[in-house]
Protein backbone atom coordinates (compact mmCIF):
# COMPACT_ATOMS: atom_id res chain seq x y z
CA UNK A 1 0.00 0.00 0.00
CA UNK A 2 1.36 3.41 -1.00
CA UNK A 3 1.65 5.98 1.78
CA UNK A 4 2.85 9.59 2.10
CA UNK A 5 4.33 10.72 5.41
CA UNK A 6 2.95 14.28 5.61
CA UNK A 7 4.92 14.97 8.81
CA UNK A 8 8.19 14.05 7.05
CA UNK A 9 7.44 15.31 3.55
CA UNK A 10 10.90 14.64 2.11
CA UNK A 11 12.75 11.90 0.26
CA UNK A 12 12.29 9.50 3.20
CA UNK A 13 8.58 10.25 3.60
CA UNK A 14 8.02 9.88 -0.15
CA UNK A 15 9.89 6.55 -0.51
CA UNK A 16 6.75 4.66 -1.62
CA UNK A 17 6.28 7.04 -4.56
CA UNK A 18 9.97 6.82 -5.45
CA UNK A 19 9.63 3.02 -5.55
CA UNK A 20 6.78 3.33 -8.06
CA UNK A 21 8.92 5.55 -10.29
CA UNK A 22 11.76 3.06 -9.99
CA UNK A 23 9.50 0.16 -11.02
CA UNK A 24 8.41 2.15 -14.08
CA UNK A 25 12.07 2.71 -15.09
CA UNK A 26 11.85 6.43 -14.28
CA UNK A 27 14.96 7.05 -12.13
CA UNK A 28 14.80 10.14 -9.92
CA UNK A 29 18.03 12.13 -9.60
CA UNK A 30 16.93 14.10 -6.53
CA UNK A 31 13.91 15.26 -4.55
CA UNK A 32 13.50 18.89 -3.50
CA UNK A 33 11.16 19.21 -0.51
CA UNK A 34 11.24 21.80 2.29
CA UNK A 35 8.65 19.96 4.45
CA UNK A 36 6.93 23.34 5.01
CA UNK A 37 3.16 23.47 4.92
CA UNK A 38 1.20 26.22 3.16
CA UNK A 39 -2.51 26.89 3.03
CA UNK A 40 -3.99 26.72 -0.47
CA UNK A 41 -7.73 26.93 -1.22
CA UNK A 42 -8.42 26.22 2.44
CA UNK A 43 -6.22 23.10 2.59
CA UNK A 44 -2.92 22.59 4.41
CA UNK A 45 -0.52 21.58 1.62
CA UNK A 46 3.12 20.47 1.28
CA UNK A 47 5.12 20.34 -1.96
CA UNK A 48 7.93 18.21 -3.35
CA UNK A 49 9.69 18.34 -6.72
CA UNK A 50 10.95 15.11 -8.29
CA UNK A 51 13.88 15.74 -10.65
CA UNK A 52 14.14 12.82 -13.08
CA UNK A 53 17.41 11.82 -14.72
CA UNK A 54 15.81 12.48 -18.11
CA UNK A 55 15.36 16.16 -17.17
CA UNK A 56 11.64 16.04 -16.48
CA UNK A 57 10.36 17.72 -13.32
CA UNK A 58 7.29 16.71 -11.36
CA UNK A 59 5.81 18.96 -8.68
CA UNK A 60 3.60 17.03 -6.27
CA UNK A 61 1.38 18.82 -3.75
CA UNK A 62 -0.30 16.74 -1.06
CA UNK A 63 -2.97 17.56 1.53
CA UNK A 64 -2.57 16.92 5.26
CA UNK A 65 -4.56 13.68 4.98
CA UNK A 66 -2.01 12.32 2.52
CA UNK A 67 -4.14 12.66 -0.62
CA UNK A 68 -3.00 14.41 -3.80
CA UNK A 69 -3.82 18.12 -4.05
CA UNK A 70 -2.13 19.04 -7.33
CA UNK A 71 0.43 17.67 -9.77
CA UNK A 72 2.50 19.56 -12.34
CA UNK A 73 4.69 17.87 -14.93
CA UNK A 74 7.32 20.19 -16.41
CA UNK A 75 5.29 23.19 -15.22
CA UNK A 76 1.99 21.95 -16.67
CA UNK A 77 -0.91 20.96 -14.41
CA UNK A 78 -2.04 17.39 -15.07
CA UNK A 79 -5.53 16.21 -14.05
CA UNK A 80 -5.65 13.34 -11.57
CA UNK A 81 -9.00 11.51 -11.49
CA UNK A 82 -8.25 9.54 -8.31
CA UNK A 83 -6.70 12.33 -6.25
CA UNK A 84 -8.34 11.06 -3.03
CA UNK A 85 -7.25 7.45 -3.64
CA UNK A 86 -3.46 7.59 -3.23
CA UNK A 87 -2.87 4.10 -4.62
CA UNK A 88 -4.71 4.83 -7.89
CA UNK A 89 -3.63 8.49 -7.99
CA UNK A 90 0.10 7.67 -7.87
CA UNK A 91 -0.36 5.09 -10.65
CA UNK A 92 -1.97 7.82 -12.77
CA UNK A 93 0.99 10.14 -12.09
CA UNK A 94 3.51 7.43 -13.03
CA UNK A 95 1.61 6.77 -16.28
CA UNK A 96 1.63 10.49 -17.18
CA UNK A 97 5.39 10.79 -16.57
CA UNK A 98 6.13 7.56 -18.46
CA UNK A 99 3.94 8.54 -21.41
CA UNK A 100 5.53 11.98 -21.63
CA UNK A 101 9.12 10.69 -21.31
CA UNK A 102 9.64 9.88 -25.01
CA UNK A 103 8.05 13.16 -26.17
CA UNK A 104 10.09 15.17 -23.68
CA UNK A 105 13.38 13.58 -24.74
CA UNK A 106 12.61 14.21 -28.42
CA UNK A 107 11.77 17.88 -27.72
CA UNK A 108 14.94 18.30 -25.66
CA UNK A 109 17.04 16.80 -28.47
CA UNK A 110 15.45 19.24 -30.93
CA UNK A 111 16.20 22.21 -28.62
CA UNK A 112 19.83 21.14 -28.28
CA UNK A 113 20.09 20.65 -32.04
CA UNK A 114 18.58 24.10 -32.68
CA UNK A 115 21.04 25.75 -30.26
CA UNK A 116 23.94 23.98 -31.96
CA UNK A 117 22.81 25.38 -35.30
CA UNK A 118 22.79 28.98 -34.04
CA UNK A 119 25.45 30.85 -35.97
CA UNK A 120 27.16 33.72 -34.22
CA UNK A 121 28.64 36.41 -36.42
CA UNK A 122 31.87 37.70 -34.97
CA UNK A 123 33.06 41.24 -35.67
CA UNK A 124 36.32 41.43 -37.61
CA UNK A 125 39.08 43.97 -37.12
CA UNK A 126 41.21 45.59 -39.83
CA UNK A 127 43.59 42.63 -40.09
CA UNK A 128 40.65 40.23 -40.60
CA UNK A 129 41.22 38.42 -37.29
CA UNK A 130 39.13 38.68 -34.10
CA UNK A 131 40.60 39.22 -30.66
CA UNK A 132 39.71 36.80 -27.85
CA UNK A 133 38.07 39.61 -25.89
CA UNK A 134 35.83 40.58 -28.82
CA UNK A 135 34.87 36.93 -29.32
CA UNK A 136 33.92 36.60 -25.64
CA UNK A 137 31.85 39.81 -25.83
CA UNK A 138 30.01 38.52 -28.88
CA UNK A 139 29.32 35.11 -27.31
CA UNK A 140 28.06 36.78 -24.10
CA UNK A 141 25.77 39.06 -26.11
CA UNK A 142 24.27 36.10 -27.96
CA UNK A 143 23.89 34.20 -24.70
CA UNK A 144 22.06 37.15 -23.13
CA UNK A 145 19.64 37.24 -26.08
CA UNK A 146 18.93 33.53 -25.68
CA UNK A 147 18.31 33.99 -21.94
CA UNK A 148 15.85 36.85 -22.59
CA UNK A 149 13.93 34.70 -25.10
CA UNK A 150 13.89 31.78 -22.66
CA UNK A 151 12.62 33.99 -19.80
CA UNK A 152 9.85 35.37 -22.01
CA UNK A 153 8.70 31.86 -22.96
CA UNK A 154 8.87 30.80 -19.31
CA UNK A 155 6.68 33.77 -18.33
CA UNK A 156 4.08 32.83 -20.94
CA UNK A 157 4.02 29.23 -19.71
CA UNK A 158 3.61 30.34 -16.10
CA UNK A 159 0.77 32.69 -17.04
CA UNK A 160 -1.00 29.90 -18.94
CA UNK A 161 -0.57 27.56 -15.97
CA UNK A 162 -2.08 30.14 -13.61
CA UNK A 163 -5.10 30.53 -15.90
CA UNK A 164 -5.51 26.73 -15.97
CA UNK A 165 -5.36 26.56 -12.16
CA UNK A 166 -8.02 29.28 -11.86
CA UNK A 167 -10.31 27.42 -14.24
CA UNK A 168 -9.70 24.18 -12.36
CA UNK A 169 -10.65 25.88 -9.08
CA UNK A 170 -13.86 27.25 -10.63
CA UNK A 171 -14.75 23.82 -12.02
CA UNK A 172 -14.21 22.22 -8.59
CA UNK A 173 -16.43 24.87 -6.95
CA UNK A 174 -19.17 24.34 -9.56
CA UNK A 175 -18.96 20.57 -9.13
CA UNK A 176 -19.43 20.96 -5.37
CA UNK A 177 -22.39 23.28 -5.91
CA UNK A 178 -23.91 20.82 -8.40
CA UNK A 179 -23.40 17.96 -5.95
CA UNK A 180 -25.24 19.93 -3.22
CA UNK A 181 -28.12 20.68 -5.61
CA UNK A 182 -28.39 17.00 -6.58
CA UNK A 183 -28.39 16.02 -2.90
CA UNK A 184 -31.21 18.53 -2.23
CA UNK A 185 -33.23 17.14 -5.16
CA UNK A 186 -32.74 13.60 -3.88
CA UNK A 187 -33.88 14.66 -0.40
CA UNK A 188 -36.99 16.34 -1.83
CA UNK A 189 -37.82 13.23 -3.85
CA UNK A 190 -37.47 11.11 -0.74
CA UNK A 191 -39.80 13.41 1.21
CA UNK A 192 -42.38 13.44 -1.64
CA UNK A 193 -42.34 9.64 -1.76
CA UNK A 194 -42.93 9.51 2.02
CA UNK A 195 -45.91 11.88 1.71
CA UNK A 196 -47.33 9.75 -1.11
CA UNK A 197 -46.95 6.58 0.97
CA UNK A 198 -48.57 8.26 3.99
CA UNK A 199 -51.52 9.46 1.84
Cα–Cα–Cα angle for 46, 51, 54, rounded to 5 degrees: 155
Instruction: pLDDT band for 94, please (50, 70, 90 cuts).
Output: very high
Q: Classify each residue of 148-164 as buried b or exposed e, where b means 16 or more C-beta atoms within 10 Å of its C-beta.
A: eeeeeeeeeeeeeeeee
Asked whether the predicted pLDDT for residue 127 surpasses 60, the reply is no
pLDDT tens by residue, 159-190: 767 666 767 777 777 778 887 888 888 888 88
Asked whether the predicted pLDDT for residue 96 surpasses 80, the reply is yes
H helical segments located in the chain: 15-23, 86-117, 132-198
The percentage of residues in the chain with a pLDDT greater than 70, rounded to a whole number, is: 88
pLDDT tens by residue, 33-84: 989 999 999 899 999 999 999 899 999 999 988 889 999 999 999 999 998 8
Task: Indicate the average pLDDT of the chain.
Answer: 83
Asked whether the predicted pLDDT for residue 149 surpasses 80, the reply is no
Among 82, 80, 85, 86, CA closest to 14: 86
Q: Based on C-alpha coordinates, what's the Rg of the chain? A: 25
Amino acid sequence: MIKIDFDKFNEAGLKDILKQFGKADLPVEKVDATNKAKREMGFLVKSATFNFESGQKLLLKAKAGGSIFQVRLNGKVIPIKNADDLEKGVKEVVQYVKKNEVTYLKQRAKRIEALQKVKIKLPKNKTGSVSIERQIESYNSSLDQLKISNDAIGGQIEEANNVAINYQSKIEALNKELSQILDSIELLRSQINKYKEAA
